[in-house]
Copies of this chain bind each other. A is one copy, B any other.
């Protein structure tokens, strides 16, 4: 336990100071402060020494240099049990500072709200992080507070321990303090990388804030949590059971597709992070029904994302099936009422969720793979018709749609589509032929017998004719695939023999 005698307070966020100050007064704790915090403390009616008076050194450079002084840092950093340290403190007439309450210039808020580079730079706090780092290093003796949220816990401790804090408490606060300094500098570092156009710096630091701690991770013997890279995590749960790790994994997979669809249009159904039905027809009900029909068996226990405001009509259909999660861009009152009747169904409003991240990170055995995300919808400009038969404009439209869905489907991916609906999806197979078979089997199982004018997309090139043969036999009349196989010519020949429109895409959509 350490008795607190002197505190230094320098806070950018001045919330909840009053209750704290009254506690400090109760235990006769001397307060040092400066600038706006000094004024605020005075205004609230408490005694306070100004830093410049304390150090006998003027505040200079419009506040850029205030606390960077040996008397302040000596006062914080001295080891109370070290005789030399104590001799130094005595000889230099430095007092000891036992409590440091600091929060930083709001760099994060500023980068979110301003493009003014000078203003952003001015909001890089130098003195604050230094005070916090000094105090956190010397946590054996010093208590460090970096957030108004911690005030109540501090007050509780001091009351309980008669003006002291415990070692365990200080150690925990130190952890949070270094979380804060490293998070703060990660933002600054990423800002500088951005303005310098550095995509992959030598050292990459990613900071994120906790959103949810789950009951468990992907499996019950794992622990898991959700973090957000910004202050603006705007997925709202309106009803239902607590979201799990796997729910979020599927929700993100669903929203990644939904956010790529035409505005306020389309339905996506996800099972185990893979799409099992996507439709972008404009009519909401038709869109939902078509997506569901693609693979109703897989949709069972899945996640539906409606890229539109949920209507009563659609809600009535949705509530008929067992789903883990339903997502929409807002809900009509009546629709919400209907869906809320299913107590377990997790209802998510994604109206305000507008992610901007363009990098993907996957960790792997002490390492991590970073890449820019595959966020391009390829269209005619990227396609080259290589068969004698040319695709109709309707076929072209469906080919673009199907190839876009490949982007979100685990490789090898085969997507069959018709009139802006998927009608068969094969995924996750090491053999492309197997993915073709799965897609065709799904179609034959769930679509009407006489379906025609089917288009097919493959996320990467066909290594042999067998895959494309399977698709043509199943009724595909237009096919898109990236080029690159040594058998491309054979494949073109086969397309011409079977009078199929074949389109080569310049690039692929692997997703492993």
Chain A residues close to B by CB (< 8 Å): 57-58, 60-62, 64-65, 68-70, 72-74, 77-79, 82, 84-85, 88-89, 92, 121, 124, 126, 129-130, 133-134, 136-137, 171-172, 174-176, 178-183, 185-186, 188-189, 192-193, 195-196, 198-211, 213, 217-230, 232-233, 245-246, 248-250, 252, 255-256, 259, 271-274, 276, 295, 297-298, 302, 353, 355-357, 359-374, 376, 410-412, 427-431, 434, 438, 507-512
Contact = CB atoms under 8 A, between A and B. Distances in A.
A136 B185 CA distance: 11
A74, A207, A229, A368 interface centre (most CB from chain B within 10 Å): A368
A325 to B, nearest CB: 14
Contact of A179 (B205, B211, B370): B205
Nearest to A234: B366
Contacts of A438: 429, 434
B58 A92 contact: yes
A289 B332 CA distance: 60
Contacts of A124: 133, 137
Given A226-B367, A228-B367, A205 B219 contact: no
B363 A273 contact: no
A153 to B, nearest CB: 13
A60 B274 contact: no
9 contacts: A64-B78, A68-B72, A171-B192, A179-B193, A202-B209, A205-B206, A206-B206, A359-B363, A360-B363
Contact of A507 (B221, B360, B364, B512): B221
Nearest to A511: B218
A512 B366 contact: no
Most chain B CB within a 10 A radius of its CB, from A65, A129, A209, A412: A65
A409 B226 CA distance: 23
Contacts of A360: 363
B65 A73 contact: yes
Number of copies: 2
Contact of A371 (B182, B206, B218, B427): B218
A376 to B, nearest CB: 6
Given A218-B510, A507-B219, A224 B366 contact: no
A491 B365 CA distance: 37
Contacts of A228: 366-368
Contacts of A259: 365
A77 B65 contact: yes
Contacts of A373: 222
Nearest to A199: B223
Nearest to A270: B430
B175 A196 contact: yes
B175 A200 contact: no
Given A219-B508, A245-B369, A298-B430, A179 B175 contact: no
A207 to B, nearest CB: 4
A434 to B, nearest CB: 7
Contacts of A297: 430-431
A369 B74 contact: no
A183 B208 CA distance: 14
A302 B272 CA distance: 24
A507 B218 CA distance: 11
B221 A272 contact: no
Contacts of A57: 70
A510 B244 CA distance: 13
Given A175-B189, A226-B369, 16 more contacts: A64-B85, A68-B130, A178-B185, A179-B205, A182-B182, A202-B210, A205-B207, A205-B208, A218-B510, A223-B372, A228-B367, A228-B368, A249-B369, A272-B412, A273-B512, A434-B438
